[in-house]
Amino acid sequence: ANESQSEPRPQSPIHSPSSSSSYPKSSSSSSSSSSSSSGQHLKVMEISQPKGSNKPAIWIDGGIHAREWISPASVTYMLSELVENSAYHQDLLSKYSFYIMPVMNPDGYEYTHTNDRLWRKARSPTHHSSCIGTDLNRNWGYKYGGKGASPNPCDETYRGPSAFSARETRAASYFILQRAHNMKMFLTFHSYGQYILYPWGYTANDEPSNWRDLHRIGQIGAQAMFKKNGHSYSVGSAAKLLYPAAGGSDDWAKGGAGIEYSYTIELPDAGRYGFLLPAIQIRNVTQEAFAGLEAMVNAL
């Protein structure tokens, strides 16, 4: 997709979207912000038909954890599918706008290509420690600092010195919050394990009031993904199914931004290759992720 940059708005860390010349009708537009650790821009694309329409929106991000390579691949595929094959996806595009950020942790992602394939966190230096990087999925401002979020900068799940201390989470949350009143669903893609997780992630002792709907729509996604490639997904609350971990983006989307349907989707595999998913599986898994997206949005 085409990228273009507009004048920065002084009050916002993310530049205001400008329309992409490649897809003028669907108003695919990209915006960027100088907000990652070593200055790489975060990019988000808005897809709405017609241009500038005020439909309810779906947020999709990937790559918050650097080593989970199938996530940016899948989210990029979703973006490409929606703009290149928009005629086939009128079920989605006639009812919703999409905000798509394929890589929320570009510095970490780059680092997994150049230095350490299994790096997880962002890459900003930490105060009072020689250890580098905050776990961007422990740094969001809802129930920040609770279980499963380490105060130690040398840990893989370091939560940072305070909520939204990382430029990546600060910029993304700012962008989302300005549009959250319009957002119906929040989807964040990770790997691995084959789970469809909904809040809460910070505690196993409580559930959102709409957890039955969250569960129902999660199961519809799991069913669609199974149908595509035969991969089984477990559906449930993050804290109960995985482990309690506070400061995740999914919990903030639900509890902080008030987006009704919030999910973390852990893509394949189930553990054989883990983060090192063989390239031969990329096509199938990205297509399966799209099938899940389609089914879940259509179930809203």
Residues that bind Zn ion in the complex, under the rule CB under 5 A: 65, 68, 190
Q: Is there binding between residue 137 and ligand 0X9 (CB under 6 A)?
A: yes
**Measured CA distances, 136 to 36, 69, 71 (Å):** 11, 16, 15
| Phi, psi for residue 122 in degrees, rounded to 5 | -75, -170
Q: Report the C-alpha gap between 252 and 89 in whole angstroms.
A: 29
Q: Which of 81, 266, 288, 294 is catalytic?
A: 266
The one segment of 42-50, 216-224, 238-246, 255-263 that binds ligand 0X9 by CB under 6 A: 238-246
Q: Is there binding between residue 176 and ligand 0X9 (CB under 6 A)?
A: no
| DSSP helix/strand/coil, 228 | helix
Neighbours of 251 (CB within 10 A): 29
The one segment of 100-108, 167-175, 242-250, 279-287 that binds ligand 0X9 by CB under 6 A: 242-250
Task: Confirm whether 266 is a catalytic residue.
Answer: yes
According to DSSP, the β-strands at 234-237 and 57-62 are: unpaired
| Phi, psi for residue 189 in degrees, rounded to 5 | -105, 130
Judged by CB under 6 A, which of 15, 41, 65, 123 binds ligand 0X9?
65
Residue number, nearest CB to ligand 0X9: 201
Q: Are 31 and 41 in contact (CB under 8 A)?
A: no
The one segment of 92-100, 229-237, 246-254, 286-294 that binds ligand 0X9 by CB under 6 A: 246-254
CB of 283 to ligand 0X9, least distance (A): 22
28 or 249: CB nearest ligand 0X9: 249
Judged by CB under 6 A, which of 201, 221, 255, 292 binds ligand 0X9?
201
Q: Report the C-alpha gap between 3 and 15 in whole angstroms.
A: 12
Q: Are 170 and 252 in contact (CB under 8 A)?
A: no
Q: Report the C-alpha gap between 181 and 253 in whole angstroms.
A: 11
Q: Is there binding between residue 254 and ligand 0X9 (CB under 6 A)?
A: no
Judged by CB under 6 A, which of 190, 254, 269, 277 binds ligand 0X9?
190
H helix count then E strand count, the chain: 8, 9
CB of 96 to ligand 0X9, least distance (A): 23
Active site (catalytic) residues: 266
